[in-house]
A and B are shown apart, each in its own frame.
Chain A
Amino acid sequence: MADLKLDQIRKRYGAVDVLHGIDLDVKDGEFVVFVGPSGCGKSTLLRIIAGLEEITGGELMIDGDVVNTKSPRDRGIAMVFQSYALYPHMTVYKNMAFGLKLDKQDKSAIDARVREAARILQLDQLLDRRPSELSGGQRQRVAIGRAIVRQPKVFLFDEPLSNLDAALRVQTRLEIAKLHQDLKSTIVYVTHDQVEAMTLADKIVVMNGGNVEQVGSPMQLYHHPETRFVAGFIGSPAMNFTNVRIDAVAPGKVTVSAPGGIKSVLPFEVPQSEVGKIVELGIRPEHLAPGDEETLSVNGEVDVVEKLGDSTYLYIKLANGDRVTVRAPGHSRIKIGDMVTASAPAGAAHLFDGDGKAFVKVDYPAEFSAEE
């Protein structure tokens, strides 16, 4: 178990820059999740940590040692592959023992460790089977077991749940979370699924186009996204965005408006120079509710209704053509074609400038804060 430090890590394939200088600190025992759309460089970054890709520039440190040029075997890491990468010609036992055998450990030590890992992962009954005789979830556990027996400093997971069906994915997610609690090891985990990121991570690294957009706890990313990209990526259904004009600013206050209804004073620190500019207002669907009780209100015609039982998603078309999703609690009676007003507390709003950077929010209620 150890900490991991990335200092200005760059990766270039020929003329294409894939990673543009990544800085990251992972503390001992932390569960870090790299999340982002496909092609954002998250898998490449993981493979760099694993030693499967060469580093073009920057420094990678595991446990205080620079490991840039070290081979995977000397880095003290163990990776769980997306495809599991189990050896079809070996039994479960041999698959799990393979790394230890290469390490020239003695037979009884190997046996003890493999059986211990098999017990933790409930693979005891399957040790003599071949991977082809296992279900997807069992193969996944063998792949994890093969990593566990090596007692690595850092575990690396590359989209481990993407080949499982929905029900099994939830179950395995819980198992991985429990495993982390038991082993207390450092884990770096790559996924494109923000639910996995939110539920598993101590720290989420949101990546986009070879850059880190934001690093923070799940709740920090949810409540205080620093960029429009993070705001749109974290949360389901995705945050609503609509253009508004800045009419006036005062210390800790900004007045915004949009044709067709929105006119509101919001608690943001906005420089005087922004007055008159068009900025983006973001509101999460779950913070909007039908009715005009709250300060920030939108209205328009409902054009789609999705009923989920516990809640109803209303898709409202605003006067400026933007569509806003509202998550109404319970089984709503609102129908397609109804004119609806929905509102949210001013503290729930997010405001992004022309470059997609968030304005600083001040003075908001605890329910919109990441602090525990």
Chain B
Amino acid sequence: MSNSAAVKSGGFRLGLLLLALPLLLWLFLLVILPHIDLLLVSLRERISYGKYEFSLINYVEFFTEPLYWNTYVRTAVMSIFATVLTLIIGFPVSYYIAKVIRGKGKNALFLMCLIPFWVSELVRTFGWMILLRESGVISNLLQWIGVADGPVEMLYNDAAIMVGLVYTSMLFMVVPLVSVLDSLDDSLIEAGYDLGGNAFTITRDIVVPHAMPGIASGCIVVFMLTLGNYLTPNLLGGKDSLWFTEQIYTQFITRFNWESGSAFGFLLLVLSSVIVWVGLKLSKQTLSQTVG
């Protein structure tokens, strides 16, 4: 009896292991292993061909060269700003989809948020370039109605980068927000009005606290996507974009300096982890609440 139970539970465990194997393999081979290698590579210095030594020179270089850490800080600040902007725009949209509109319109609106993601990020970013460039749609329109008397260049500045980043990440903010706001019982909002609240106090005291896990998870995803984005800042910001991912690209591909590129990659990982951790602490959320 006890023997067969043991066999059974053993079989159950084996089944679980087999089910989890693809995930574990993926995590180990594609995430953990490369990062270990990245760390090891970042902690060595090339002495001569095929000869390396342990050294912190790559990290020292990062802190002594103002361009590097200026880009680093700028990327972090811009990413935080883009995340906040996405939240500010995404929240009313999500609230409208989840709580105001009913029936078919709800699905249609949700689909409209999704449709841009049927084309690749490259195409979407080119879309913005067509709109914003000197010979683009908006520039021509402004000239045609007489607001501007010559071509207007709207690309290659921070605002253009911001537009692209917010646009690219919007869906990742709207989806968790809609799902968390959907779970907010209408009677909680009605009770708020009944208890003497107005739109502002109810949003502040009832809707936002309820939506906090969704806000946190949306912000984490958007922040990480933005921080690690290469394409959008590069295309819309041009040479002046100064995004940290571009520095990593340059180290690896242009300078062929894998040691320094690895160090930068590791520093980016540290940066996103620290900022997400601080964000969770400030909003009094835990990672398990946010993901679960």
Contact = CB atoms under 8 A, between A and B. Distances in A.
A224 interface: no
Shortest Cβ-Cβ A-B pairs, 3 listed? A99-B195, A85-B191, A73-B196
B190 interface: yes
Interface stretch (A76-84, A248-256, A278-286): A76-84
Interface in A43-91: 50-52, 71-73, 77-79, 81-83, 85, 87-89
B52 interface: no
A71 B187 contact: no
Interface of A: 50-52, 71-73, 77-79, 81-83, 85, 87-89, 98-99, 102-103, 146, 150
A44 B62 CA distance: 67
Contacts of B198: 71, 73
Given A52-B190, A73-B196, A85 B185 contact: yes
A83 B187 contact: yes
Interface string B181-225: 000010110110111111001000110011000000000000000
Given A73-B198, A83-B185, A89 B210 contact: yes
15 contacts: A72-B194, A73-B193, A79-B191, A79-B194, A85-B185, A85-B191, A87-B188, A87-B206, A87-B209, A89-B209, A102-B195, A102-B196, A102-B197, A150-B195, A150-B196
Contacts of A99: 195-196
Given A87-B206, A89-B209, A89-B210, A81 B190 contact: yes
B191 A81 contact: yes
A50 B194 contact: yes
A98 B194 contact: no
A150 B196 CA distance: 10
Interface of B: 185, 187-188, 190-191, 193-198, 201, 205-206, 209-210
B140 to A, nearest CB: 44
Nearest to B201: A102
Given A50-B194, A102-B196, 13 more contacts: A52-B193, A71-B198, A72-B194, A77-B194, A83-B187, A85-B185, A85-B188, A85-B191, A87-B205, A89-B209, A102-B195, A102-B205, A146-B195
Task: Label chain B's interface by main secondary structure.
Answer: helix
Nearest to A47: B190
Contacts of A103: 196
Nearest to B212: A89
B195 A98 contact: yes
B187 A72 contact: no
A88 B185 CA distance: 11
B265 to A, nearest CB: 39
Contacts of A85: 185, 187-188, 190-191
A162 B153 CA distance: 65
Which of A72, A85, A102 has the most chain B CB atoms inside 10 A of its CB?
A: A85
A50 B194 CA distance: 7
B12 to A, nearest CB: 32
Nearest to A78: B194
A99 B196 CA distance: 6
B290 to A, nearest CB: 15
A89 B193 CA distance: 18
A10 B194 CA distance: 21
Nearest to A149: B195
A78 B194 CA distance: 6
A89 B205 CA distance: 10
Contacts of B206: 87
Contacts of A79: 190-191, 194
A173 to B, nearest CB: 22
